[in-house]
């Protein structure tokens, strides 16, 4: 018996959703509003630079005013905080984010706290995170939100599903858990101290993987006919981009699986841009 695996093609979903988003930007422009997004990039981390380029390309394609603000690795915390203050008060900027990770001499928490929750497109400020867990989100973290947009597109209903997330970062694991809990999934978050990881992941109807280790997840971690979401952005032994999931080993055991590239990454950018447009729409609606 051949059971067909369905690819969750984030790249295609993103292209489909771009059309609606472009129309929303157009109607804002008719009212004299151009959505503005700024990205602050510290240092020249090459992976970060690629992501930033992708964001810029998509934002500009949709008619969004994109501002890239670059700092040397040696920038002081004070200089960075001053720029954040400026962006908080810049009426042309609806939302901005500070690309992570930051150099060690800069306190990430301090930077997050300085961002105005009203412009926090990443949803990383304490107020945004609190609202997310209360169930009254202001802005939603892009990766988590992008994953849900993709699952919605494929009509995957999370209600009552057993979701297991590997990774508990503030940027991926935790916000994904919050949004999926809100959809009535039963959510388990696992991490590097988790005992018997395979036993837990093997019970997952939906497995979300955000570890940061190339091809870590093989078929022995996966339940038959599970849905596998691979957030990882890693390099394989040949330097080629790959995910945390060993795609070729796992795919035939799944009912749906995201490829890397072309899965979660493009949806992250879709969710980010959607968030910026929503903030700009808020200029009209108050
Ligand atoms: N596609 C996209 O849009 C995005 C992709 N990424 C990618 O996703 C991946 C994860 O990113 P991020 O969340 O920032 O990473 P972090 O390094 O912040 O977190 C990794 C998590 O994985 C856990 N972990 C590490 N090793 C193991 C293990 N052997 N078993 C179980 N859990 C383990 C860690 O546990 P512990 O907490 O105990 O240390 C931690 O919670 C990376 O590849 C990153 O590049 C990230 C953001 C967006
Ligand atoms: N404050 C902050 N917010 C973030 O959202 C954030 C961050 N810091 N730091 C780094 C991670 C990583 N991230 C990605 C976004 C898009 C792709 C992406 O577009 N990926 C494409 C193409 C990748 C390629 O070709 O290189 C794909 O998977 O198909 C990947 C990764 C956002 N991040
Ligand atoms: Mg980290």
**3-class state of residue 10 by DSSP:** helix
45-59, 110-124, 220-234 — which is least confidently predicted? 45-59
Is pLDDT of 140 > 80?
yes
Q: Could you give the CA distance from residue 29 to residue 66 in angstroms, rounded to a whole number?
A: 15
Is pLDDT of 1 > 60?
no
User: Which residues line the pocket of ligand 1, CB cutoff 6 A?
Assistant: 143, 166-169, 171-173, 190-194, 197, 210-212, 231-234, 264-265, 268
Percentage of the chain modeled with pLDDT above 90 = 94
pLDDT tens-digit series, residues 62-96: 999 999 999 999 999 999 999 999 999 999 999 99
Q: Could you give the CA distance from residue 139 to residue 117 in angstroms, rounded to a whole number?
A: 8
pLDDT, greater one: 106 or 286: 106
The tokens for 184 are: 């009535």
Q: Could you give the CA distance from residue 159 to residue 154 in angstroms, rounded to a whole number?
A: 15
pLDDT, greater one: 45 or 183: 183
Look at the alpha carbons of 35, 27, 263, 148 in this order and tell me if their dihedral is positive or negative. Answer: positive
**3-class state of residue 263 by DSSP:** coil
Class of domain 142-263: alpha beta
Predicted local distance difference test score (pLDDT) of residue 2: 56
Q: Where are the domains of the chain?
A: 32-119+126-131, 142-263
Give the number of the ligand closest to the Cα of residue 122. Answer: 2
Output the CA–CA distances (angstroms, integers) from residue 3 to 6, 31, 107, 268, in the order listed. Answer: 10, 51, 49, 29
41's CB contacts (< 8 A; 6+ apart) are 48, 49, 52, 68, 69, 70, 71, 99
The pLDDT mean for the chain works out to 96
DSSP-assigned states of every residue in 119-183 = GBTT--SHHHHHHHHHT--SS--HHHHHHHHHHHHTT---TT-EEEEE---TTTHHHHHHHHHHT
Class of domain 32-119+126-131: alpha beta
DSSP-assigned states of every residue in 93-129 = -SEEEE-SPPPTTS-HHHHHHHS-GGGBTT--SHHHH
Closest ligand 2 atom, residue 262 Cα:
29
Indicate which residue's Cα is closest to atom 9 of ligand 2: 100
**3-class state of residue 72 by DSSP:** coil
pLDDT tens-digit series, residues 227-280: 999 999 999 999 999 999 999 999 999 999 999 999 999 999 999 999 999 999
Most informative mutation of 39, 191, 232, 271 for ligand 1 (most atoms within 8 A of CB): 191
This model of the complex carries an ipTM of 0.98
Is pLDDT of 110 > 80?
yes
Please compute the mean of the pLDDT values over residues 195-224 and round it to a whole number.
98
67's CB contacts (< 8 A; 6+ apart) are 36, 37, 38, 39, 93, 96
Distance from Cα 65 to the centre of ligand 1, integer Å: 31
63: region left, alpha or beta (phi > 0 left; psi from -120 to 50 alpha): left
Which among 175, 232, 230 has a CA at the least distance from the CA of 47? 232
Predicted local distance difference test score (pLDDT) of residue 105: 97
pLDDT tens-digit series, residues 25-51: 999 999 999 999 999 999 988 778 888
Q: Could you give the CA distance from residue 139 to residue 136 in angstroms, rounded to a whole number?
A: 9
Distance from Cα 19 to the centre of ligand 1, integer Å: 32
Distance from Cα 29 to the centre of ligand 1, integer Å: 38
Predicted local distance difference test score (pLDDT) of residue 277: 97
Please compute the mean of the pLDDT values over residues 213-227 and round it to a whole number.
98
């Amino acid at each position: 018996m051949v059971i067909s695996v369905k690819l969750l093609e984030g790249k295609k979903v993103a292209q489909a959703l771009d059309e609606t988003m472009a129309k929303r930007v157009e109607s804002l422009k008719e009212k004299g509003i151009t959505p503005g997004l700024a990205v602050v990039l510290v240092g020249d981390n090459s992976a970060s630079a690629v992501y930033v380029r992708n964001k810029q390309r998509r934002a500009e394609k949709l008619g969004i005013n994109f501002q890239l603000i670059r700092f040397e690795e040696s920038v002081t915390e004070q200089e960075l905080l001053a720029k954040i203050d400026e962006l908080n008060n810049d009426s042309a900027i609806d939302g901005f984010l500070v690309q992570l990770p930051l150099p060690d001499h800069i306190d990430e928490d301090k930077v997050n706290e300085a961002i105005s929750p009203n412009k926090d497109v990443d949803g990383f400020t304490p107020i945004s995170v609190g609202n997310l867990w209360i169930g009254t989100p202001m802005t939603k973290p892009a990766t988590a939100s992008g994953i849900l947009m993709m699952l919605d597109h494929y009509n995957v209903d999370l209600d009552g599903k057993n979701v297991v997330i590997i990774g508990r970062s503030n940027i991926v694991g935790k916000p994904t858990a919050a949004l999926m809990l809100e959809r009535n999934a039963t959510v388990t978050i696992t991490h590097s101290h988790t005992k018997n990881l395979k036993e837990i992941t093997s019970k997952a109807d939906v497995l979300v993987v955000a570890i940061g280790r190339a091809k870590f997840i093989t078929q022995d971690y996966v339940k038959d006919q599970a849905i596998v979401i691979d957030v990882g952005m890693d390099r394989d032994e040949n330097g080629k981009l790959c995910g945390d999931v060993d795609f070729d080993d796992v795919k035939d055991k799944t009912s749906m699986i995201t490829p890397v590239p072309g899965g979660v990454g493009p949806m992250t950018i879709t969710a980010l841009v959607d968030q910026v447009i929503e903030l700009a729409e808020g200029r009209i609606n108050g």
